[in-house]
């Protein structure tokens, strides 16, 4: 168990009265403790490769559909 006055990153920090006074006695936790960054890290190069592959697949499917529609039109 952590001691009562322990600083815990992105959770709790101990400030003296002087620091609280400098912040106009604002006791909001967000004034003193930085929120943890939980954003997902995305490799943009990998993402662009995946998008390019998806676009290639769509193009192949679109060409297949166009061929099927053309065959159906020719059969009428």
Q: What is the pLDDT of residue 42?
A: 92
- Please give the average pLDDT of every successive group of 10 residues along the chain, which has 76 residues: 61 79 85 79 95 97 94 80
Q: What is the pLDDT of residue 43?
A: 94
Q: What is the pLDDT of residue 62?
A: 97
- Supply angle C-alpha 54, 56, 61, rounded to 5: 95
Q: What is the pLDDT of residue 10?
A: 62
Nearest to 33 by CA among 17, 10, 56, 54: 10
- Give the global pTM: 0.47
Q: What is the pLDDT of residue 48?
A: 97
Rounded Cα distance, 44 and 29, in Å: 34
């Amino acid at each position: 168990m952590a001691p009562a006055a322990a600083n815990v990153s992105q959770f709790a920090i101990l400030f003296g009265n002087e620091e609280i006074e400098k912040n106009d006695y604002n006791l909001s936790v967000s004034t003193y403790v930085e929120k943890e960054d939980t954003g997902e890290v995305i490799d943009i190069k990998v993402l662009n490769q995946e998008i390019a592959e998806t676009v290639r697949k769509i193009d192949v499917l679109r060409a297949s559909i166009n061929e099927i529609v053309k065959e159906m039109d020719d059969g009428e």
